[in-house]
Chains A and B, each alone.
Chain A
């Protein structure tokens, strides 16, 4: 079906989320919708799926105007949505999850016709090569498969228009490739696909048309056959963006962070870090690469004082911090951008200003004799908001009401708001858009050039290679190799991540 949105406008208190947005997508086409966090993509899709009502504007499906009062109406009109966060019941199996809310019944008392539902799910799975086991329990399925269950859920409800909101955010590179194939086969069968993303490669890879949103408006459209990443990035951000990290050679100074044979256990008391030795010097960026779950999380928690060492020794700037807590480590001038911002980095019900002082509220200028100096907060927080381009109505806004990218910017702004000798950045750009990634990378390099030692932990190979002066690869709790200069190639890092020893030739 052909989908058209005309002049959609949606206003929230303090924000114009969608400002006269018009887009259209033909039957069997893939429309890539590109935009930074807070550009209005999600708002627009929530309007399309009936969660929000637009203040003005029209939704047309096959030329016929539709008014969606609620999600049920949108589903009935053929619009299916696959959210970033899946809406599945972990203890249900695939058949139950898919049929939930759209159950077919086989008799008057309403017995669920499982066999019929299962047949349709198997048929859909085969038709679009989704390869989903209908009897598997959701909680036992990997993330990529859960996403395919969500797609089946939409198809099961006869969706002719499928909206995918940041579908690759949770996928491994291989799963992403599979997703592209699925999207292509859906489009070939006549489904109209709207693919929301902030990743440039993806939108070029899979779309037939590209529309770029910026600050609630359509900033432009592009043809994926001719458009370049640079053009799209500039359109998205509204200025010339540097896609590569510009930095001079590192000038390493004294050792700031010294790790000596450290062993760390996780909450289940499994040994996750097994004898890591590492020195990080002032004026260099050491990137720690590795597949998620190889001990990086526990290593970072140990360095920042959040997790006790099992054995070993840590010194920061000459101080032994092996037994220090987070406060003592932070007071030594250590910035920590935590991996899980929702858990550690941010307190959602508190304001942006309060989050801005979360780990320095006890020090001057924010605290005098145990009394908070709210004026000092009000003077300094807006600078952070401005520097990092945090889209927030005010510093008194609850941090939890900001978009994910803006929340991350609050964390980074806070950590860079005080002078530091060591920066521990765990997945600092996860879920961020091009403009923010560029800015955060630049700030990391600036901190390095000012003489800080930087440790960045990332599972994104691109990021590791772009930012790191030296790359330490973690595998199974150990650092299996440190690469620098010409050795630091995609192939070498990739091999080490898979568990090969550097210098031993081919991977096992």
Chain B
């Protein structure tokens, strides 16, 4: 109980931020339902009822799109038909598939943030990691057994991402170059490197295909699935992501290195007084951060997506920033926030199909979530939540980085 209470208190503001975003999103859904609004002059009450019904239907579709239909799952489980079970649990597993890279990248941003570094380069680190995994997988094809290729590729993805992340850390520690600028620039360089390699190395592509997309990797190697059912894509990448959350939590709060990272992030001067090298912490944090993004890239390219392309990341590195802030930079929070983002993404797709509401609206809701999370004061005043702690931890992340926010 002692530990649970503060944890619940911490969740109040993020929860209300999400709720507020959903309410506002509902208003927009109702306001953009023009067929319904046409009748407002003739039948205002009916229109209002229609609007409410529309919003409920939309969110209902989103919910079942994200988590599936429990009734259907139960029936499917009773019949025991693998295809039925697969279809019934597919929404839930697809949500977890979307969640997996978000967890990796959210953890990555959290680590760097904790050390006072604002890593906007998640996309570049992810791409470089995925590219390294692709190249190694194709190079080792037929040379070593596929399980070894899997381990080696994920390993090289992590190392490549770490190297890509280490560069801005090194530049900041040695020259003071601001990591916001260097990581953004390395994103461009990263995606161009991917483009360059895929274009100039025909061995990576399918014969005859000149678009910069690699051949399918799944015939060579695949990340094993957690459950073997038709149409289910959820693989052990998700489990590794959860393990990484535990590992990052342990590293940050239970080890001396984690202590150094956090101390240097909050106050470089006091860290130095305590004998901690702030520069060393920056480099380590950025390398770890990049490594996690690279690992995300490895699992994406080998498991979920199965082939390399310059737009593999799809802005994951940026979504991860909002996610990490929503999570309060805590690994447990990252898992929960990633689930939320994954559910919104997945549920939004079904909402679009079922109700004809454009998927853009979903981006709108996610943007609102991010905006409200970034403005805890606004949420507190809307919902009249009393401040129990003097300031959220995010606000006190090193002055250098906060300025860039």
Is B270 within 8 A of A343, CB to CB?
yes
Q: Write the chain B residue with the least CB distance to A346.
A: B270
Q: Write the chain A residue with the least CB distance to B257.
A: A370
Check if B145 is an interface residue, CB within 8 A of chain A.
no
Report which of A326, A371, A374 forms a contact with B273, defined as CB distance below 8 A.
A326
Contacting residues of chain A (199-255) with chain B, CB-CB under 8 angstroms: none
Is A374 within 8 A of B254, CB to CB?
yes
- A370 proximity list for chain B (CB < 8 A): 255-257
Check if A330 is an interface residue, CB within 8 A of chain B.
yes
Given contacts A325-B275, A349-B396, A401-B390, whether A372 and B254 have CB atoms under 8 Å apart is yes
Is A348 within 8 A of B266, CB to CB?
yes
- B262 proximity list for chain A (CB < 8 A): 350
Check if A439 is an interface residue, CB within 8 A of chain B.
no
- A347 proximity list for chain B (CB < 8 A): 263, 266-267, 270-271
- Which residue among B254, B266, B270, B393 has the maximum number of chain A CB atoms within 10 Å of its CB? B270
Docked complex Cα distance between A374 and B250 (Å): 12
- Nearest chain B CB to A53 CB, angstrom units: 11
Report which of A326, A357, A361, A371 forms a contact with B272, defined as CB distance below 8 A.
A326
The 7 closest A-B pairs by CB, nearest first: A327-B275, A344-B273, A358-B274, A359-B274, A349-B396, A347-B267, A347-B266
Contacting residues of chain A (355-380) with chain B, CB-CB under 8 angstroms: 357-359, 361-362, 367, 370-372, 374
Check if B78 is an interface residue, CB within 8 A of chain A.
no
Q: Write the chain B residue with the least CB distance to A374.
A: B254
- Which residue among A343, A345, A350 has the maximum number of chain B CB atoms within 10 Å of its CB? A350
Is B254 within 8 A of A326, CB to CB?
no
Is B396 within 8 A of A336, CB to CB?
no
Check if A306 is an interface residue, CB within 8 A of chain B.
yes
Is A372 within 8 A of B269, CB to CB?
no
Report which of A338, A354, A401 forms a contact with B259, defined as CB distance below 8 A.
A354
Check if B175 is an interface residue, CB within 8 A of chain A.
no
Of the A-B pairs whose beta carbons lie under 8 Å apart in the complex, a sample of 26, sorted by A's number, is A13-B388, A306-B272, A326-B272, A331-B275, A343-B269, A343-B270, A344-B273, A347-B263, A347-B267, A347-B270, A348-B267, A348-B396, A349-B396, A350-B266, A354-B263, A358-B263, A359-B273, A359-B274, A361-B274, A362-B275, A371-B254, A371-B255, A372-B259, A398-B390, A400-B390, A401-B389
- B388 proximity list for chain A (CB < 8 A): 13
Docked complex Cα distance between A331 and B267 (Å): 21
For chain A, give the interface size range. Answer: 20 to 34
- B253 proximity list for chain A (CB < 8 A): 372
Contacting residues of chain B (237-262) with chain A, CB-CB under 8 angstroms: 253-259, 262
Q: Write the chain B residue with the least CB distance to A338.
A: B273
Chain B, residues 172-211, CB within 8 Å of chain A (1/0): the string is: 0000000000000000000000000000000000000000
Q: Write the chain B residue with the least CB distance to A354.
A: B259
- Nearest chain A CB to B229 CB, angstrom units: 41
Is A359 within 8 A of B275, CB to CB?
yes
- A348 proximity list for chain B (CB < 8 A): 266-267, 396
Given contacts A347-B266, A349-B266, A400-B390, whether A336 and B273 have CB atoms under 8 Å apart is yes
Docked complex Cα distance between A371 and B257 (Å): 8
- A354 proximity list for chain B (CB < 8 A): 259, 263
Contacting residues of chain B (341-400) with chain A, CB-CB under 8 angstroms: 388-390, 393, 396
- B271 proximity list for chain A (CB < 8 A): 347
- Nearest chain B CB to A46 CB, angstrom units: 14
Given contacts A370-B255, A370-B257, A371-B254, whether A344 and B270 have CB atoms under 8 Å apart is yes
Q: Write the chain B residue with the least CB distance to A414.
A: B274
Docked complex Cα distance between A386 and B259 (Å): 24
Q: Write the chain B residue with the least CB distance to A371.
A: B255
Q: A326-B272, A359-B273 are in contact. List 4 more A-B contacts (CB 8 A).
A: A13-B388, A358-B274, A359-B275, A400-B396
Is B275 within 8 A of A330, CB to CB?
yes
- B273 proximity list for chain A (CB < 8 A): 306, 326, 336, 338, 344-345, 358-359
- Nearest chain A CB to B130 CB, angstrom units: 31
Is A326 within 8 A of B256, CB to CB?
no
- Nearest chain A CB to B252 CB, angstrom units: 10
Q: Write the chain A residue with the least CB distance to B254.
A: A372
Q: Write the chain A residue with the least CB distance to B392.
A: A349
- Nearest chain B CB to A371 CB, angstrom units: 5
- A357 proximity list for chain B (CB < 8 A): 259
Interface size counted on chain B using CB atoms at 8 A: 24
- B270 proximity list for chain A (CB < 8 A): 343-347, 358
Contacting residues of chain A (316-341) with chain B, CB-CB under 8 angstroms: 325-328, 330-331, 336, 338
- B263 proximity list for chain A (CB < 8 A): 347, 350, 354, 358
- Nearest chain A CB to B385 CB, angstrom units: 14
- A345 proximity list for chain B (CB < 8 A): 270, 273
Docked complex Cα distance between A359 and B274 (Å): 4
Report which of B257, B266, B275, B389 forms a contact with A326, defined as CB distance below 8 A.
B275
- Nearest chain A CB to B50 CB, angstrom units: 43
Docked complex Cα distance between A343 and B255 (Å): 24
- A367 proximity list for chain B (CB < 8 A): 256
Docked complex Cα distance between A198 and B111 (Å): 43
Docked complex Cα distance between A327 and B273 (Å): 8
- B258 proximity list for chain A (CB < 8 A): 372
Q: Write the chain A residue with the least CB distance to B6.
A: A396
- B256 proximity list for chain A (CB < 8 A): 361-362, 367, 370-372
Docked complex Cα distance between A325 and B270 (Å): 14
- Which residue among B267, B274, B276, B388 has the maximum number of chain A CB atoms within 10 Å of its CB? B274
- Nearest chain A CB to B279 CB, angstrom units: 12
Q: Write the chain B residue with the least CB distance to A400.
A: B390
Q: Write the chain B residue with the least CB distance to A343.
A: B269
Docked complex Cα distance between A225 and B259 (Å): 54
Docked complex Cα distance between A327 and B256 (Å): 14
Q: Write the chain B residue with the least CB distance to A401.
A: B390
- Which residue among B255, B273, B389 has the maximum number of chain A CB atoms within 10 Å of its CB? B273
Docked complex Cα distance between A157 and B352 (Å): 60
- B275 proximity list for chain A (CB < 8 A): 325-328, 330-331, 359, 362
Docked complex Cα distance between A345 and B263 (Å): 12
Docked complex Cα distance between A374 and B396 (Å): 24
Chain A, residues 95-135, CB within 8 Å of chain B (1/0): the string is: 00000000000000000000000000000000000000000
Q: Write the chain A residue with the least CB distance to B397.
A: A349
Docked complex Cα distance between A347 and B267 (Å): 6
- A330 proximity list for chain B (CB < 8 A): 275
Docked complex Cα distance between A392 and B36 (Å): 59
Chain A, residues 5-46, CB within 8 Å of chain B (1/0): the string is: 000000001000000000000000000000000000000000
Contacting residues of chain A (279-317) with chain B, CB-CB under 8 angstroms: 306
Docked complex Cα distance between A346 and B257 (Å): 18
- A350 proximity list for chain B (CB < 8 A): 262-263, 266
- Nearest chain A CB to B304 CB, angstrom units: 34
- A362 proximity list for chain B (CB < 8 A): 256, 275
Q: Write the chain A residue with the least CB distance to B262.
A: A350
- B389 proximity list for chain A (CB < 8 A): 398, 401
Docked complex Cα distance between A326 and B271 (Å): 10
Docked complex Cα distance between A330 and B274 (Å): 8
Docked complex Cα distance between A424 and B255 (Å): 29
- A359 proximity list for chain B (CB < 8 A): 273-275
Docked complex Cα distance between A41 and B271 (Å): 32
- A371 proximity list for chain B (CB < 8 A): 254-256
- A13 proximity list for chain B (CB < 8 A): 388
- Which residue among B253, B254, B259 has the maximum number of chain A CB atoms within 10 Å of its CB? B259
- A346 proximity list for chain B (CB < 8 A): 270
Q: Write the chain B residue with the least CB distance to A359.
A: B274
- Nearest chain B CB to A305 CB, angstrom units: 8
Docked complex Cα distance between A13 and B388 (Å): 8
- A361 proximity list for chain B (CB < 8 A): 256, 259, 274
- B272 proximity list for chain A (CB < 8 A): 306, 326, 344
Is A326 within 8 A of B274, CB to CB?
yes
Chain A, residues 375-390, CB within 8 Å of chain B (1/0): the string is: 0000000000000000
- Which residue among B275, B276, B390 has the maximum number of chain A CB atoms within 10 Å of its CB? B275
Docked complex Cα distance between A357 and B389 (Å): 23
